[in-house]
Each structure stands twice: as C-alpha cells, then as structure tokens.
C-alpha cells in the first residue's frame, strides 16, 4: 500500500465512524446499555430528546460529556472531558461542543446520538469466569487419540474460536498447530492491534470474552489496553495473548472434556469415503524426529492461515482471482507483512540487538522508508499533509501496545509492532507453491530488518529495538531463522535480532472454498446501499473492504464483484456491521469438512473485510457450532437447519442482526427479538 493510502487508513481510525443510519432502535439500545452500566444518568431525558429533529440542553450535554469521559479515564474533571473524548476518538474536535455544550446552548440530537453510539462501542468488558481456568497444555504427539469428533488444522483465531465452541458443546476436539505458537495472525504473526471496525464488535460472542480476558491481565496492573490506533482499539502483547488463548482453551475443555492441542503438527493427507472426509494424516515434529499419525474424525475444519487443507479435501476453491484447476501463479493477492515487535529500552538496547550495518537490500527500501516515516516533533500525532511522512510518535501509536513489563505509562507508547510501511507484494504462487511462499516470506523478513535499521540509524531511535521478552525465541523460530541464514550467510550478523522476530508472516489472503453461497462486495456495501441481512446469518463482520497491494481491476473476480465496488480510499464504501450467512461455510460437494478462517466462500473484496482477528474468531465460533451440532444430530453440516445453529450462537452471546435490537443483550427477549429480525414473527 502506498504511503498516502496508509495515511488515509490511520486518519480513519483517528476519526471513528458511527454506525451507518443510526435508527431509533439503535439509539434506544445505546442509551440502555450506557444507563445499565451506570455510565450515564437521566436516561429518560435522553430517550425523550434523542429523536428525529430533537434538541438537547447544553447544561445536560456538559454533564453527559463528563460522564462519558469518566468511562474512558476515571476521575476526569469536567474541564478536561472534551480533551479526553477527542484523544480517545469519541469526538473529532472540541469546537462544536465548546460552542453548544454550554449554559443556554442547544445541541442537535443527531450529534448527541453519535456520542452515545461511539461510547457504547467502547464499554468496559466484564472479566469472564474463564479467566480463572487452568491454561491448556500442549499434548505430546504420541498421546493423541486415534479418533476425535472434530479435528481443526490451525490454532489461529478461527481455529481457537471453533475449538472453544465445539468443546463447550461436548465434542472431542483435536487442535493442530504447525508452529510452536498459537494465535495465528493475532499472536504468532504479532498483529495484536485488534481491527474492530469501530462498532459494537466487542459485544459479540467469543470476541467479547476475549476482550474480557485481555482486561483480566491489564486492568489489575492499571495498564490501559486500548492502545492501538491512537488509543482507540484493544491491543495485547503477543506473549500475553498466547497465554490467554491457552487459558480460554483450558476453560473450554473443563475437567472432563476432550480438547487436545498438538503443536509442530500439520495435516498432510485427507482420508475420504466418496465425498465425505473421514480423517487425516498428521505429520508431527519434535526433538525426537518426525512421526506420522492416522486420526479419524467426523468433521475436519481448515483454520490454517493460507487455507492449506482445502485442496487436500478435493473441494473446489478460489485462489486470488483464479479457480482451482485453472491457476495463474502470477496473479496478485494481498501483500504480506513479516512483523516485528519493538520496544523502548530505557537502559539502552543490548548490543546484540543493535543493527549497526545496513542489511542486504537496504538501499532498495531506504527511499520508500524516508517517504513514509520521519522523526518529526515529539508528540506529533496529527495527520501530515498528503504525501509527507508520518512522525515517529504517530508510527508507534498506530500499532501501539500495552507494555506490562513496565509500570503504567499513561498514554506513552513504549511497545509497538512494525506493520505499516513494510508490506511485501505477494502472488497466487505464494498460496499454491511452498517454495515460492518461502522465498517471498524470507524477502519480507529482510525488509522488516531493513526498517529496523532505518529506525535505529536514520531516525536515531537507538533506544528502540526488537523486543527480547515476547517469547518468540523458540525452537521453531530458531530453526527457521537458522535455515534462512544457512541459505543467506550474509544475514549471520543479524541472527540474534531475527530470533526475536515474529513466528510467522501476516498472511492477509488464503484459499477460499467455493460454497453454496459466495458472499460478494455489493452484499456488504455500507455507503451506496444497505448490507444484506441474510435470514441465515451466523456471524457479523464490521471492517471496511481493504485489499493491501491488489485493490485494482485486473485482480478482481469479475464474475463476483465489479469495478464500482473498488473503494477509492480506505473506508469509502463504509465501516460497520454486515452479515455472513450459513451457506458460505458449506462446500459445494465435500462433506465432513468446514472452513473457519479467511477461507470461507467469499470474493476477494469481501475477504478484505472479513480477514481481521475479531471476525475470524467469530467465524470460527460459527464453524465450531455447526460441527458440534451436526455431530450431535448425526448429520452433515449442509443438512443442518440454520435456525438451530443460530439458536446455539445466540445462546453463546453472538448477536446476528446488523442493527442491535432493543432488549438487553443475553436476555430471552433479546434472543427472541434477534430471531424476529432474521425470520419475522412466527
């Protein structure tokens, strides 16, 4: 992505978008949830005045502004409320409120509705009971059973979401991870700044629980975990996220359940009877060597980052804008990024982590780095003029992380990850050909190494380097970096740094099954049309369409999307809820198999909106529910009544309507209202 496009992206995050077309039901919902949480007072006043054409007294709004600021930063004085709300992205600038939220002033109800809307999306999440669970240990491969109800390949966000839901429904689950880290793009690739789409995603199902688990770590430490995108989105340190996922999985297993996690294990073959998947061959790696295991299943789920199990099943799929059987390896897919977590070292960077000489290929990237990132003035966070570089403070605030290795630092960012101007182009070959993938990902590693040198040498940030406490220095990572250095001896001086890079690349695009329904861009359009509320919705997404490095006509699927669907800038076709239907999870013909990551049946453009951590976690939860319910009923997932799946997901706290219903979340009335929106009164 070009620097100008990235500037637009960060600008959007700094100016949160209210849900499109705030309806009376949504306004009522926002007032209720904020009043029930004792965030705002005088709920009856707001219900009476936040109506079409309504007007609100300035004195009342002053009180409201202070109440909302105190939710974000307790003990905020009235005089500081506007500053807090602007810093946290609830308001754009204080100008309007300084003029109208005064004694004798009048505020337009529409503007106050937006205040409620934006604040309701940022409610503090309660700490769930699962925070007290014993983390799930990694099972040695030799202790695997020879049969599980559900086998899940890939322990990323989708895989963990599926495993938790299926295990909680009483199914035996085997969760496989090719690396020695779980969490996929979110933890192992270190993209821990949650891309939430600016709406009520934190109120949905397992992602709500996930945010509560993050709170369970940081809240007792007094550390703010809303650090990403200028203190607006939830973020978590990768090592903390990894531990919390083990905890979530441990809770799902419980005392008597079966949920086994095996790392350094990958599916290499799929067993079938006709068009029904019946099991897998698993290749496992350990210090003792490589072993192969045959394990049978009732449902196999592909939750790998690249959709690597899909072709093993024989299911038809899309790769870039190609269809299996007619693959052009030169076609573009979304750019990848090999991220690196960096932190400030208050006592100086260890000598081994100083990048003192230009890495290979540095001259190739230096000019682009200079155009996108400069030192700037201390505290400079504002959007620079188009075509000019970001400041250092804006750069570290973009992916800013909490830092539990230090006492609370307020709004000061001391840890972040480099995932801004180090994207690397990718093609269909990187999905289909392991050798091409290895070459591309290694080139991406070198680019990030060059960026680190630029930060230390050109920007003079000699107190910043790759974080040595994230736990990425594992046997798996050492082995892959050692193999890389053996092939590229000129990288040997950087070995200590590379050991602390992320475990895997951030892969934004994978194979996508061709299912009973393929979700298209016009069906999730949120500006020029309303997104479709499918009756069989099983998950809700929020993010804008965002295809890194390939959002142009030659790389579209013209049988699915159209030139007018291409956003001219980040978010121009909308941000906010859209529906993902049941049929997108069901392959055309193959049974005993489901997708649960970026690999559902969708167009490339839709993939640009569903590929983010909250959404893949919720799609994984939906796949886990389908798998467990189908096994319980003794049928294939395609034979399920989607309404039965919806009942399971609603009981698990997953809203399925694009617009929130009026009843309080989780109540019988809420569930009934959700189903009525989806199917009408029956």
DSSP secondary structure of 603-670? -HHHHHHH-SHHHHHHHHHHHHHHHHHHHHHTS-GGGS-HHHHHHHHHHTT---SSSPPSSPTTSHHH
Instruction: Quote the crossing angle between the two packed helices 362-372 and 3-14, to the nearest 10°.
Output: 40
- Asked if residues 546 and 569 have their Cβ atoms less than 8 Å apart, the reply is no
Please write the tens of the pLDDT for every residue from 383-439. 788 889 999 999 999 999 999 999 998 889 999 999 999 999 999 999 999 999 999
Number of C-beta neighbours around residue 375 at 10 A: 16
- Reported as type and span, the H/E element at residue 519 is none
Q: Is 540 helix (H, G, I), strand (E, B) or coil?
A: strand
Q: Which of 84, 81, 164, 80 is nearest to 128 (CA)?
A: 164
Burial (0-12, 13-18, 19+ Cβ within 10 Å), 558: exposed
Choose one of 69, 98, 120: the last residue of a domain: 120
Q: Per the domain annotation, does 593 fall within a domain?
A: no
State the chain's mean pLDDT as an integer: 93
pLDDT of residue 569: 85
Q: Per the domain annotation, does 468 fall within a domain?
A: yes
- CA distances 18 to 120, 162, 353, 437, 447, Å, are 10, 30, 43, 39, 36
pLDDT of residue 682: 55
Q: How confident is the model at residue 6 (pLDDT cuts 50, 70, 90)?
A: very low
Give me the half-sphere count of Cα atoms (radius 13 Å) on the Cβ side of residue 225: 27
Q: Which regions of 305-391 does DSSP assign to beta strands (E)?
A: 317-319, 322-323, 332-336, 341-344
pLDDT of residue 681: 67
Strand partners, 90: none
- Asked if residues 603 and 560 have their Cβ atoms less than 8 Å apart, the reply is yes
Q: How confident is the model at residue 12 (pLDDT cuts 50, 70, 90)?
A: very low
24 has pLDDT over 90: no
Choose one of 120, 148, 178: the last residue of a domain: 120
pLDDT of residue 20: 41
Q: Per the domain annotation, does 494 fall within a domain?
A: yes
Q: Which of 559, 430, 452, 443 is nearest to 496 (CA)?
A: 452
What is the DSSP-derived secondary structure letter of residue 582? G
Q: In what order do the strands lie in the sheet with 341-344?
A: 415-417, 341-344, 464-466
Please compute the mean of the pLDDT values over residues 100-113 and round it to a whole number.
95
The reported pTM is 0.92
- Asked if residues 267 and 153 have their Cβ atoms less than 8 Å apart, the reply is yes
Q: Per the domain annotation, does 472 fall within a domain?
A: yes
Q: Is 678 helix (H, G, I), strand (E, B) or coil?
A: helix
pLDDT of residue 384: 83
43 has pLDDT over 90: yes
Q: Per the domain annotation, does 397 fall within a domain?
A: yes
Quote the tokens at residue 328.
């052009």
pLDDT of residue 22: 64
Q: How confident is the model at residue 666 (pLDDT cuts 50, 70, 90)?
A: confident
Instruction: Quote the crossing angle between the two packed helices 613-633 and 205-218, to the nearest 10°.
Output: 130
Query: Looking at the 3D structure of the chain, how many domains does it have?
Result: 2
448 has pLDDT over 90: yes
pLDDT of residue 596: 97
Cα distance between residue 626 and residue 538, in whole Å:
10
Please write the tens of the pLDDT for every residue from 178-213. 999 999 999 999 999 999 986 678 889 999 999 999
Q: Which of 570, 518, 509, 504 is nearest to 333 (CA)?
A: 509
Quote the tokens at residue 75.
């003990």
Q: Per the domain annotation, does 221 fall within a domain?
A: no
Q: Per the domain annotation, does 234 fall within a domain?
A: no
Quote the tokens at residue 228.
């990403």
> Which range marks the domain in which residue 82 is found?
17-120
Cα distance between residue 589 and residue 98, in whole Å:
61
Please write the tens of the pLDDT for every residue from 450-472. 999 999 999 999 999 999 999 99
Cα distance between residue 406 and residue 409, in whole Å:
8
Strand partners, 424: 336
Choose one of 471, 498, 525: the last residue of a domain: 498
Residue tagged 């991220």 (tokens) = 339
pLDDT of residue 7: 40
- CA distances 493 to 223, 353, 364, Å, are 36, 10, 19
pLDDT of residue 3: 38
- CA distances 438 to 163, 180, 266, 268, 338, Å, are 28, 18, 17, 18, 12
């Amino acid at each position: 992505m070009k620097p100008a496009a990235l500037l637009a992206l960060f600008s959007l995050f700094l100016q949160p978008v209210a849900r499109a077309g705030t309806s009376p039901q949504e306004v009522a919902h926002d007032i209720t949830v904020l009043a029930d949480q004792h965030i705002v007072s005088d709920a009856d006043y707001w219900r009476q005045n936040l109506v079409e054409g309504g007007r609100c007294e300035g004195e009342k709004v002053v009180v409201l502004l202070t109440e909302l600021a105190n939710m974000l930063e307790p003990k905020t004085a009235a005089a500081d409320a506007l500053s807090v709300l602007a810093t946290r992205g609830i308001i754009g600038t204080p100008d309007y409120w300084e003029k109208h939220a005064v004694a004798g002033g009048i505020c337009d109800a529409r503007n106050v509705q937006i205040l409620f809307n934006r604040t309701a999306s940022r409610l503090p999440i309660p700490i769930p009971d699962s925070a007290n669970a014993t983390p799930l240990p990694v099972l040695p491969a030799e202790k695997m059973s020879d049969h599980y109800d559900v086998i899940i390949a890939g322990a990323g966000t989708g895989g963990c979401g599926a495993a938790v839901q299926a295990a909680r429904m009483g199914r035996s689950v085997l969760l496989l991870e090719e690396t020695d880290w779980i969490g996929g793009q979110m933890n192992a690739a270190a993209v821990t700044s949650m891309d939430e789409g600016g709406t009520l995603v934190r109120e949905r199902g397992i992602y709500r629980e996930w945010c509560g688990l993050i709170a369970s770590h940081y809240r007792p430490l007094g550390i703010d975990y809303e650090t990403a995108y200028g203190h607006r989105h939830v973020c978590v340190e990768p090592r903390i996220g990894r531990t919390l996922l083990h905890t979530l999985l441990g809770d799902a297993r419980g005392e008597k359940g079966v949920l086994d996690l095996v790392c350094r294990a990958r599916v290499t073959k799929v067993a079938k009877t006709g068009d029904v998947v019946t099991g897998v061959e698993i290749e496992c790696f350990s210090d003792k060597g490589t072993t192969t295991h045959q394990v049978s299943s009732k449902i196999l789920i592909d939750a790998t980052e690249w959709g690597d199990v899909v072709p093993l099943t024989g299911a038809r799929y899309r790769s870039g804008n190609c269809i299996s059987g007619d693959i052009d390896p030169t076609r573009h897919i979304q750019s990848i990024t090999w991220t690196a977590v960096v932190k400030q070292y208050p006592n100086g960077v260890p000598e081994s982590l100083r990048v003192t000489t230009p890495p290979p290929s540095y001259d190739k990237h230096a000019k682009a780095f200079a155009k996108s990132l400069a030192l700037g003035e201390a505290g400079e966070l504002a959007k620079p003029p188009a075509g000019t570089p970001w400041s250092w403070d804006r750069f570290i605030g973009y992916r800013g992380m909490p830092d539990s290795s230090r006492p609370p630092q307020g709004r000061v960012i001391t840890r972040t990850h480099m995932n801004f101007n180090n994207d690397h182009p990718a093609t269909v070959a990187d999905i289909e050909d392991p050798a091409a993938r290895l070459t591309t990902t290694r080139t991406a590693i070198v680019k990030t190494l060059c960026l680190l040198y630029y930060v230390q040498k050109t920007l003079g940030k000699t107190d910043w380097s790759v974080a040595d406490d994230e736990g990425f220095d594992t046997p798996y990572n050492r082995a892959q970096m050692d193999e890389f250095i053996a092939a590229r001896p000129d990288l040997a001086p950087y070995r200590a740094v590379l050991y602390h890079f992320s475990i895997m690349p951030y892969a934004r695009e994978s194979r996508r099954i061709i299912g009973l329904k393929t979700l298209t861009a016009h069906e999730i359009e949120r500006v020029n049309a309303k997104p479709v509320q499918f009756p069989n919705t099983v998950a809700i997404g929020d993010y804008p369409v965002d295809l890194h490095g390939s959002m142009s006509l030659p790389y579209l699927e013209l049988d699915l999307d159209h030139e007018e669907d291409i956003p001219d800038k980040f978010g121009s076709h909308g941000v906010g809820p859209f529906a993902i239907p049941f049929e997108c999870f069901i392959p055309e013909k193959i049974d005993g198999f489901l997708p649960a990551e970026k690999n559902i049946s969708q167009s490339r453009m839709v993939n640009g909106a569903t590929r983010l951590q909250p959404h893949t976690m919720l799609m994984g939860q939906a796949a886990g529910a389908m798998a467990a319910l189908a096994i319980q009923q003794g049928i294939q997932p395609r034979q399920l009544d989607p309404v039965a799946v919806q009942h399971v997901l609603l009981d698990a706290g997953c809203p399925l309507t694009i617009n929130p219903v009026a009843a309080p979340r989780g109540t019988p009335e809420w569930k009934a209202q959700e189903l009525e929106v989806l199917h009408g009164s029956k």
